[in-house]
Amino acid sequence: MLGIQTNFYPLPDQPAVYRVHVVTHPNSGTWRNLYRRYDDQATTVQAFLSGHVDLIVTGSPIAATMIKQNPHKKIERKFIIQHSPCHIGIRKGEVDLLYWVNVFIYRKKLSGDLDKLSKKWFGESLPELPAF
C-alpha cells in the first residue's frame, strides 16, 4: 500500500478518513471488495498523484516507479499486503529448460544478484523464494 509520508494507522486501527483505491485485478485480493475500485492501473495512479485518493494498493514495480518519478510527492510504502512472486512459463515436456531455469535462478539467489536487482528495480529486498 502506498501513501504520502504522513502518520498512518495500519489496519485494523485505520481511521475511516482515508480514501483507499485499488485496481480491479486478481492481485488486489480481498482488498478489491473493501474499497473503491478503478478499472486500470493508470487511472488509479493518476487519482493518487492528483490527490483524489489518499492511499492505493499496487504492485512493487508500479510502486517503485511512482516513488522514483515523483520524489516531490514524498510517496512511501505503508505496508506490504501480500507477496506475489513472478512466474516463468515453460512448455510442457521441456524438462531440460525447466532445470536450467531453476538452477539459474537458484544460483543468482545464492550469489545475491537477484536481491541486488530487486533493490535496484523495486526498492526493496527480495522476499523468500518459493521452494522447488
pLDDT digit string (tens) for 27-59? 545 554 456 666 778 888 888 888 887 888 888
What domains can you pick out in the chain, each with its CATH number?
A: 2-77 (3.40.190.10), 85-132 (no CATH)
Q: CB atoms < 10 A from the CB of 121, how many?
A: 13
pLDDT digit string (tens) for 45-98? 888 888 887 888 888 788 888 888 999 988 888 777 777 777 789 999 999 999
Q: Cα–Cα distance between 118 and 61 in angstroms, integer?
A: 10
pTM of the model: 0.57
